[in-house]
Amino acid sequence: MVRKILKYGEPMLERRADPVTDFDTPELRELIGDMWETMYAAKGVGLAAPQIGSSTRISVIDVSVGEDETKKIVIINPEILSSEGTQTGEEGCLSIPGFREPVTRANQVIVRAQNEKGEAVELSGEELLARAFQHEIDHLNGVLFINHLSTLKRDIIRRKIKKLQKAGEWD
């Protein structure tokens, strides 16, 4: 089921999500399935559970945007073990639609997480996949991509969003 994506301003987006402790349950499978459907419907490359109202440490990522089934990644309770290099690229967010800005992140990361069955997995990513891992793990920690921008750019975006909210165009 496609769920509503929460937008900037929703308190859940800026809170650390809770760890997942029950694995391989019908509820977990349903949530992950809904996350895939929601992400693909919104044409995203990643989605964190808090973005659809579930304060759980789960993210789904597919840098092929549905073109390659083997690129689908589910990370539960993830943490970045190491990072190397830097890359700067334009980044956006399904919870902050219409805004894209350059963000500098690590170019390579190694992530430890759990899969849907609770098994430990270690994943590595470069370039776009590294960016997606970092962006989604930030979401699980209550950090949005605009937190990586200068205070000036962040304030400009916040003012534009306030205008959209006043006009009833930010629901």
State the catalytic residues. 136
How deeply is 13 buried, as exposed, middle or buried, from its count of CB atoms within 10 A (0-12, 13-18, 19+)?
Answer: buried
* Listed residue (166, 161, 118) closest to 13, CA to CA: 161
Two tokens, residue 107: 């170019």
Distance CA(163)–CA(76), nearest Å, equals 36
DSSP 8-class letter at 65 = T
134-164: buried (b, 16+ CB within 10 Å) or exposed (e) per residue?
bbbbbbbebbbbbebbeeeebeebeeebeeb
